[in-house]
Amino acid sequence: MATGKRQGKKSKAKPRARKPEAKPRCGLCGKTKNLTKTECCGQWICDDESDYVLFSYARNSCHRNHRRFTLCGYHFTEEHPGRWNDCAQCRDSFETEMYVWYGTNEYNFEKLEDPPEYEPTTCTKCGAVISLSEDAYSLGAEGYRCEKCSNFDFPGV
């Protein structure tokens, strides 16, 4: 009588494939090669600070960006006690707009929860909104000036 199954032979279980060990990844860009851990928070990050060209203002280094453009990096460098997330010294070190940016930008592993609200920074001459984290501007005795008004006030500079 045929049942469609082989009689008398035991099926061999397939060996389970081992899951590959999870490679550390840069917590900012996801790369897996040439990594180090941050001094401030112990996160895996690209060991790429040597790629930065002085005075280029490039944002091509995960390590440098985290160290220089986050509250986490600032808090560690300034040797403040406790956690950066609730550090009054860090909060008092920046205008609110920059404090919020340093705590919430893409260079953070952990973002600032409930960042404070703030009024946008405006040019004291023309009233244009200035993004302190992105735009060119000058700061003088009268306040912030946008790039256009700064160039008007200081032609040829």
Same domain, 112 and 133: no
| Structural domain includes residue 31 | yes
User: Quick check: 103 and 74 in contact, CB under 8 A?
Assistant: no
86 beta partners: none
pLDDT tens, 92-148?
999 999 999 999 999 999 999 999 999 999 999 999 999 999 999 999 999 999 999
Same domain, 56 and 99: yes
Q: What is the pLDDT of residue 57?
A: 84
Q: What is the pLDDT of residue 117?
A: 97
Same domain, 28 and 91: yes
| Joined tokens for residue 128 | 């244009």
| Structural domain includes residue 12 | no
Q: What is the DSSP string of 48-107?
A: -GGGPPTT------HHHHHHHSSHHHHHHHTT-SS-GGG-HHHHHTS-HHHHHHHHHSTT
User: Quick check: 96 and 81 in contact, CB under 8 A?
Assistant: no
Same domain, 126 and 111: no
Reply yes or no on whether the pLDDT at 3 is more than 80: no
Query: Which are the contacts of 101, defined by CB distance < 8 A and separation ≥ 6?
Result: 132, 133
Q: What gap in Å lies between CA 129 and CA 125, rounded to an integer?
A: 11
Task: Give the chain's domain count.
Answer: 2
| Spatial CA neighbour of 138 closest among 149, 127, 58 | 149
Q: Containing domain of residue 156, as a range?
A: 120-157
Same domain, 110 and 126: no
| Structural domain includes residue 136 | yes
Least confident of 23-27, 71-75, 141-145, 152-156: 152-156
Q: What is the pLDDT of residue 20?
A: 63
Q: What gap in Å lies between CA 30 and CA 38, rounded to an integer?
A: 15
Q: What is the pLDDT of residue 21?
A: 67
The pTM is what? 0.80
pLDDT tens, 29-77?
999 999 999 999 999 999 998 888 889 988 999 999 999 999 999 999 9
